[in-house]
Amino acid sequence: MSEIQSSNDGVSYSVTVGDEPEDWERSDMRLSPSKINMYLKCPRSFYYRYIAKLPETLTIHLFRGTIVHNILEDLFRKKFKYASYWKRGEAQKWISAEFEREWNKMVDSKPWLFKDYDEKQFRVETRDMLINYCDRIENKLSEMLEWGVYYSKDQAFKNLRPLDTEMRLHNKDLKIMGIIDGVTKDFEGNSSLIDHKTS
């Protein structure tokens, strides 16, 4: 059995490699990359949130992230899953309407979220984020055809759209779990893991 010691952002930690000590018991808690990062940055915050389970303040960032994730998932899974649908800003119109519907629902049901935040600013910022994402997809489709990377829009879209969305990965032995927002493969066969960030 060996121990590796390291330091990250001023926080020292050690990892034991090899057989488990006899007196060691596994926890029922599953770890995720977010939990691990929180522990490495601030063990006390980790303790308060996941061990003591102190209540968290619900902020606009949490709800905004949920709305964006859900809309982006539906974008590729339901509404715009074929290349032929990506034309003349149709995705931008759809995503804008979906966003307004979901955002208005949140404003009506949770007005207290905006006690400390400017609702209009967050609305515009979040809608623009979604529209810019659709613009980026349309631009990339055009560029791939223009540059001769692919011969058809369908071929280009197949390699541009996420292969999987909201993919959950588990390691039962290590009790580690993570959620990948999307997986894409480029024209050279390289895979990319996508994690949407809205804060």
Write out the chain's pLDDT in tens, 199 residues.
444 444 445 544 444 444 555 554 656 677 888 888 899 999 999 999 988 999 888 889 889 999 998 999 899 888 899 999 998 899 999 999 999 999 999 999 999 988 888 999 999 999 999 999 999 999 999 998 999 988 899 988 888 887 777 777 777 777 777 877 778 777 677 888 777 776 6
Look up the pTM and report it: 0.69
Residues 6+ apart with CB under 8 A from 170: 30, 176, 177
Q: In 10 A of CB 60, how many CB atoms?
A: 19
Please list, residue by residue across 82-115, b when 16 or more beta carbons sit within 10 angstroms of its beta carbon and e when fewer do: ebeebeeeebbebbbebbeebbeebeeeeeebbe
> What pLDDT shows up at residue 5?
47
Residues 6+ apart with CB under 8 A from 114: 60, 107, 122
> What pLDDT shows up at residue 19?
52
> What pLDDT shows up at residue 166?
73
For residue 178, which of 190, 162, 191, 195 has the smallest C-alpha distance?
Answer: 195
